[in-house]
Amino acid sequence: MYIPEHFREDREERLQAFISENGFGILVSMHDGVPFASHLPFLFEPSEGPHGKLSGHMARGNPHWQSLGDARQALTIFHGPHAYVSPSWYNSPGVPTWNYVAVHVYGKSRLIEDKQTLWDLVTTLTKVHESRYEPPWEPDLPDNKIDALLGMIIGFEIEITDIQGKYKLSQNRSSDDRKRIIQRLEQEPSHWSTNIARLMESQERAD
């Protein structure tokens, strides 16, 4: 990913928090000589290995899994809010641009075909996302139903080797311009715009 220095985010704790909060990503690898992408929820375990581990599963009918495993390279893209920024909001001259946050995760893939390990992954992912509900739904299914469901999916793990973060939040503009951008974004009807405004405010505090 192309990252100009003023947009680079290297703080691992911030990148890990972003992945945990934006766990629906795009898995990309080469399949039959061309890039292939799948949109999937991921389980991120930051304490597994030097940079953490990603886990997920997909339909067995999806040919993408055939290009994973054997430590083959994979890229997972996690993206957050984004918003258009008008040059009319600046005090000084400028051009139209787009503010956004993206994190690219590179790693070595391994397939999970053991049924118990795969079921543990499915139930853990379920608990993570059901934790916001009261009461949370429990995957209390009969064994024959579980076996049938597990036969329809295949799991994978990605040992993370590199994480790249790009926080493009007008860091190349003056402090006055950034304040004006935040004010205008907060007035926009889109929740993406207001979320970018909040990220810009947090970036100001972090810096």
pLDDT score for 92: 86
Identify the domain containing residue 136 by its residue range: 5-206
> By percentage, how much of the chain surpasses pLDDT 90?
88
Q: How far is CA 131 from CA 10, 16, 80, 164, in A?
A: 30, 20, 21, 29
**2: which residues sit within 8 A by CB, 6+ positions away?**
none
pLDDT digits (tens, 9 = 90+) for 103-121: 999 999 999 989 999 999 9
Q: What is the CATH number of the domain that holds 99?
A: 2.30.110.10
pLDDT score for 181: 96
What span, in angstroms and rounded, lies between the C-alpha atoms of 103 and 14? 11
pLDDT score for 113: 87
pLDDT digits (tens, 9 = 90+) for 171-191: 999 999 999 999 999 999 999
pLDDT digits (tens, 9 = 90+) for 147-158: 999 999 999 999
pTM: 0.92
Q: Is the pLDDT of residue 84 over 90?
A: yes
Q: Is the pLDDT of residue 98 over 90?
A: yes
pLDDT score for 207: 62
pLDDT score for 204: 73
Q: Is the pLDDT of residue 206 over 80?
A: no
pLDDT digits (tens, 9 = 90+) for 29-73: 998 889 999 999 999 999 998 899 999 999 999 999 999 999 999
Average pLDDT for the chain: 94
How many domains is the chain built from? 1
What span, in angstroms and rounded, lies between the C-alpha atoms of 173 and 176? 8
Do 25 and 106 form a contact (C-beta atoms < 8 A)? no
